[in-house]
């Protein structure tokens, strides 16, 4: 038994390495999650799982190691089944070195493609690359024609399409971007390496094109189009000017991230620019009207607008942002404030310019506001963001909003 196992390890070392590493990592993830009392997603990140925050910090290797983690036992068993079924045969036909290079290329391409969307775990991208390679290769190779029937190919494509259906219905979040990129990569390898003589002429060109993975890695490590990326840069910035710049870029890229809106409001409040703070939090509420944290912060900022003149300035901004819904928002943000409690306080008057001219004789007792910043949360693993094509109508009476920044 031992000699047979050793023989199989020598014959299929790459496949067996993955068949061993994946369940081992899954058990370690579960054990660490239980032992340290952290979430399963955090345990995966501790052991090299995919994480956009770590990727942006320069840990490019997580694109490869993240694929060795899995979202759960069923996910793991499915991938191990397909890897054991086709990986061993493919490694035998290609040779261990070529098979390893193919797997690394497939992991890189599918991982980079998925990183443009959201972190994901699992070997599925590589497995669909193997399926695409075999599908094309079998057209010119009698061996694969005997091993892989037309029915098996059909099942593979049904599985591929079914993942889109399951994800689209919201049953399970699936990394279909990685699946698609892997399938295309495998088909190109099959065509240029084992296809028609004319197609094989492109094999050197295709090999050379792998050098473009280097700038692709750089791009996904610096996604300047992502609001979450700028939010993270704002969290790491050393001074208020830089923080404000990055948070403004964050809401420009993705207005639905209410964390940067809150941070902008707090930064303006710190500079005693109360009108700008009010404008920022109102814009955030307009984009995410169900965010309870933003509602509470807006109520605190509203406490600075004491007196008829300041209240009129605040109301003008409400009209500008919310239009016909201003009355409802004024009820939510102002009327729950006990104004009699503010009567003894003497606050600086909010000028129309938004700049504060404090009275040196005034007694200033400002409302306590949350600490800055609202830190960018880690996105859940093996999930893909589903940004609604149309934002919901603002509802100031809606209960608490969805989890910030999470891939829904």
Domain coordinates in residue numbering, the chain: 2-221, 237-408
pLDDT of 398 over the 60 cut: no
Element (H, E) at 319: helix 308-322
Q: Which is nearest to 114 in space by CA: 183, 192, 171? A: 183
Evaluate if residue 372 carries a pLDDT over 60.
no
Could you give the percent of the chain with pLDDT greater than 90? 58
Q: Is the pLDDT of residue 287 over 60?
A: yes
Burial of 91 (0-12, 13-18, 19+ CB in 10 A): buried
Q: What is the pLDDT of residue 367?
A: 47
Average pLDDT over residues 325-338: 79
Token reading at 120: 């994901």
Domain 237-408 has CATH 1.25.40: yes
Residue entry with tokens 């309870």: 292
> Over 80: is that where the pLDDT of 370 sits?
no
pLDDT value at residue 366: 47
- Averaged pLDDT, 386-395: 41
pLDDT of residue 71: 87
Over residues 383-398, the mean pLDDT reads 41
User: Is 237-408 in the same CATH topology as 2-221?
Assistant: no
SS (H, E, C) 263-281: HHHHHHHHCCCHHHHHHHH
Residue 350's SS3 state is strand
The matching CATH number, chosen from 1.20.1540.10, 3.90.25.10, 3.20.20.80, 1.10.645.10, for 2-221 is: 1.20.1540.10
**What pLDDT is recorded for position 304?**
86
CB contact set of 245 (below 8 Å; sequence gap of 6+): 234, 237
Residue 50: C-alpha distances to residues 82, 159, 161, 378 (Å): 22, 24, 24, 11
pLDDT band, residue 340 (cuts 50/70/90): very low
CA separation, residue 254 to residues 147, 248, 249, 358, 376 (Å): 49, 10, 9, 35, 13
Instruction: Quote the mean pLDDT of the chain.
Output: 83
Going by pLDDT thresholds of 50, 70 and 90, the confidence category of residue 110 is very high
Of 382 and 171, which is predicted with more confidence?
Answer: 171
Q: Is 369 left (phi over 0), alpha (psi -120 to 50) or beta?
A: beta
């Amino acid at each position: 038994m031992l000699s047979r196992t050793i023989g199989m390890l020598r014959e299929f070392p790459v496949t067996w390495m993955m068949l061993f590493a994946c369940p081992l990592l899954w058990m370690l993830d579960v054990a660490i999650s239980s032992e340290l009392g952290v979430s399963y997603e955090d345990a995966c990140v501790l052991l090299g799982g995919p994480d956009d925050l770590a990727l942006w910090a320069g840990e490019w290797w997580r694109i490869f190691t993240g694929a060795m983690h899995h979202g759960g036992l069923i996910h793991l068993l499915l991938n191990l089944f397909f890897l054991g079924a086709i990986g061993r045969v493919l490694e035998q036909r290609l040779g261990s070195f070529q098979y390893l290079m193919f797997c690394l290329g497939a992991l890189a391409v599918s991982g980079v493609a998925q990183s443009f969307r959201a972190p994901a775990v699992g070997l599925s991208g590589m497995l669909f690359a193997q399926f695409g390679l075999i599908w094309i290769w079998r057209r010119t190779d009698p061996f694969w024609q005997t091993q892989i029937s037309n029915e098996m190919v059909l099942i593979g494509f049904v599985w591929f399409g079914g993942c889109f259906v399951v994800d689209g219905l919201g049953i399970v979040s699936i990394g279909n971007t990685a699946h698609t990129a892997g399938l295309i990569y495998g088909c190109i390898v099959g065509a240029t390496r084992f296809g028609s003589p004319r197609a094989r002429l492109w094999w050197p060109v295709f090999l050379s094109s792998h050098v473009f993975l280097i700038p692709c890695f750089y791009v996904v490590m610096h996604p300047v189009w992502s609001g979450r990326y700028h939010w993270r840069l704002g969290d790491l910035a050393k001074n208020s000017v830089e923080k404000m710049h990055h948070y403004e870029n964050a809401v420009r890229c993705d207005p639905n991230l209410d964390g940067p809106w809150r941070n902008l409001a707090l930064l303006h409040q710190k500079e005693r620019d109360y009108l700008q703070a009010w404008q920022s939090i109102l814009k955030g509420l307009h984009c995410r009207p169900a965010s309870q944290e933003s509602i509470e912060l807006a109520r605190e900022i509203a406490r600075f607008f004491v007196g008829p003149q300041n209240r009129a300035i605040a109301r003008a901004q409400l009209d500008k942002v919310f239009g016909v819904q201003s009355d409802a928002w004024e009820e939510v943000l102002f009327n729950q404030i006990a104004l009699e409690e503010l009567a003894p306080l003497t606050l600086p008057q909010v000028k129309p310019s938004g700049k504060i001219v404090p009275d040196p004789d005034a007694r200033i007792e400002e409302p306590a506001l949350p600490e800055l910043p609202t830190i960018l949360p880690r996105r859940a693993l093996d999930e893909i963001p589903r940004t609604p094509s149309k934002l919901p109508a603002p509802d100031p009476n809606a209960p608490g909003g969805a989890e910030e920044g999470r891939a829904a």
